Amino acid sequence: MRILLVNYRYFISGGPEKYMFNIKKMLEDNGHEVIPFSIHSNKNVETEYSKYFVEPIGSRDATYFEECKKTPKVMWQMLTRSIYSTEVEKAIKKEIKDVKPDLVYIIHFVNKLSPSVICGAKKMGVPVVLRLSDYFLLCPRFDFMYNKKPCEECLTKGYRTCIKKRCVKGSLFASVVRVFSMKVHKAMNVYKGVDAFITPSEFLKKKLIENGFDENKITCIPTFTASKSEVGKPQVGTYGLYFGRVTEEKGVDTVVKAYEMMPDRHVKIMGDDTTDEAKRLKAYIKEKNIKNVEFLGFKAGEELEEIIKGARFTLIPSIWYDNLPNTALESFQYSKPVIASNIGSLPELVLDGVNGYLFKPADAQELCEKVALLDDDAVVKKMGAASRDRLEERFAPQTHYDTLMKVFDRVRK
């Protein structure tokens, strides 16, 4: 099968890109041909198909819109890529004409490529499968967050709520653009052209069905991680570990406040520590003279693996409807118990009392209580083994591949 793989980045920036390269390799290992369509960036992995890629908003050095100079050209690009881009439609149709894929598998396109990737593929008569990494079909902000709490008012009161509250980046302009684009896409019936939706979690699937999407088109296929055989003997580590993005919705401040109350225990926070939230938390730690919370910065490769191996357990303290984070699967890989917020898809990953514990989001006191339950080495070993079993049973690469191929075969008929 020849598959056109669409994502707005062709380098690893976060979970969606990790998935993109993992699924690309898996498909190729099983004899399929995978061809990318993306946006030019100086960070991109080299590919002969970059000649089909489109120019980014702003420069090839910018990853995020905030890094771009707000010139009239950039503002126009932002509008068209949010609503509909004829430039992108033309580019993807050209690639489809030349490479003749059997189907298009879309990972992420919002605000960078526009739904023209869907329409362009359908105009060329090619089936489209769309994987959802967040809640962009339902929430203008993508994450159902407002004022550090989950918010679904746009679903119950309409999208004017988003404009009134300036939910998107705190900007009236950005909120209006996003809401307008969602209304245009609905009027165009863009998503009715999608032949199948893939959700990483049952939680997201349920949200889509509750809000009018065709249940028959939606398949939950949990994210996978390549199960490493050379992980070594499981270790009972000495510290708690949070790793991932250090942003407000990830709830890292709950970890800091919990460990402020547990000065005899140590926690490491691994991830980009130059974000606004990381700077705020580091300033708080300095002000309060907290000695047992250590920021490590971003780590990768063997260094990251060694830090995970040395952890006693890992923490996922999200305050948003987290949509099956890769950090949980990476924790399972190294037989680590996970303490996670009882929100979104996280209860699908962490079975309370089996391979970790769940706690009320943003409740630092309850988090302290769960951490204390893992003082017993025997409990850590037992739950760590259960985590590894959970990975093999529910999140195995072969299970993901087999289910995905059933979806691909169905939409091609």
Please write the tens of the pLDDT for every residue from 139-167.
Answer: 999 999 999 899 999 999 999 999 999 99
Q: What's the domain range around 347?
A: 239-394
Residues 352 and 251 in one domain: yes
- In this prediction, residues 30-42 reach a mean pLDDT of 97
Q: Within this chain, do residues 254 and 367 fall inside the same structural domain, yes or no?
A: yes
Give the model's pLDDT for residue 198.
98
Q: In terms of domains, do 206 and 248 share one?
A: no
217 and 85 share one domain: yes
Give the total number of structural domains in the chain: 2
187 occurs within a structural domain: no
Residue (of 243, 395, 357) closest to 305 by Cα position:
243
Burial zone of 328 (CB within 10 Å; 0-12 exposed, 13-18 middle, 19+ buried): buried
Whole-number pLDDT of residue 65: 59
Does position 63 have pLDDT exceeding 90, yes or no?
no
Indicate the pLDDT class of residue 353, thresholds 50, 70 and 90: very high
Q: Does 219 lie in the same domain as 324? A: no
Q: Is the pLDDT of residue 229 over 60?
A: no
Better-predicted residue by pLDDT, 15 or 329 = 329
Shared domain check, 200 and 95: yes
Q: Based on the domain organization, do 307 and 214 belong to the same domain?
A: no
Assigned domain for 6 exists? yes
CATH code for position 343: 3.40.50.2000
DSSP SS3 for 4: strand
Share of the chain above pLDDT 70, in %: 96
pLDDT mean across residues, the chain: 93
For residue 231, is it within any domain? no
pTM of the model: 0.89
User: What pLDDT is recorded for position 232?
Assistant: 72
Q: Is the backbone of residue 161 left (phi > 0), alpha (psi -120 to 50) or beta?
A: alpha
pLDDT higher than threshold 70 for residue 2: yes
pLDDT of residue 215: 96
Q: Is 74 or 281 the better-scoring residue by pLDDT?
A: 281
β-strand pairing of 293-297 with 267-270: parallel
Q: What is the Cα–Cα distance from 16 to 5, expressed in whole angstroms? A: 12
pLDDT of 44 reads: 95
Residue 169 lies in a domain: no
Stretch 177-201: mean pLDDT: 94
From the list 95, 88, 112, 113, the residue with the least C-alpha distance to 36 is: 95
CA distances from 120 to 6, 378, 398 (A): 12, 56, 31
User: 353: Cβ–Cβ under 8 A, 6 or more apart, which residues?
Assistant: none
Q: Are 208 and 268 in the same domain? A: no
Taking the alpha carbons at both ends of the chain, their separation in whole angstroms is 13
34: β partners: 3
pLDDT, tens digit (0-9, with 9 covering 90-100), for 387-397: 999 998 889 89
Q: Please tell me what DSSP assigns to residue 39.
A: B
The tokens for 70 are 């707000």
For residues 207 and 262, membership in a common domain is answered with no
Domain assignment present for residue 232? The answer is: no
* % pLDDT > 90, the chain: 82
220 with 322, same domain: the answer is no
* Rounded distance between C-alpha atoms, residue 56 and residue 285, angstroms: 38
Question: Are residues 51 and 76 both part of a single domain?
Answer: yes
Domain assignment present for residue 295? The answer is yes
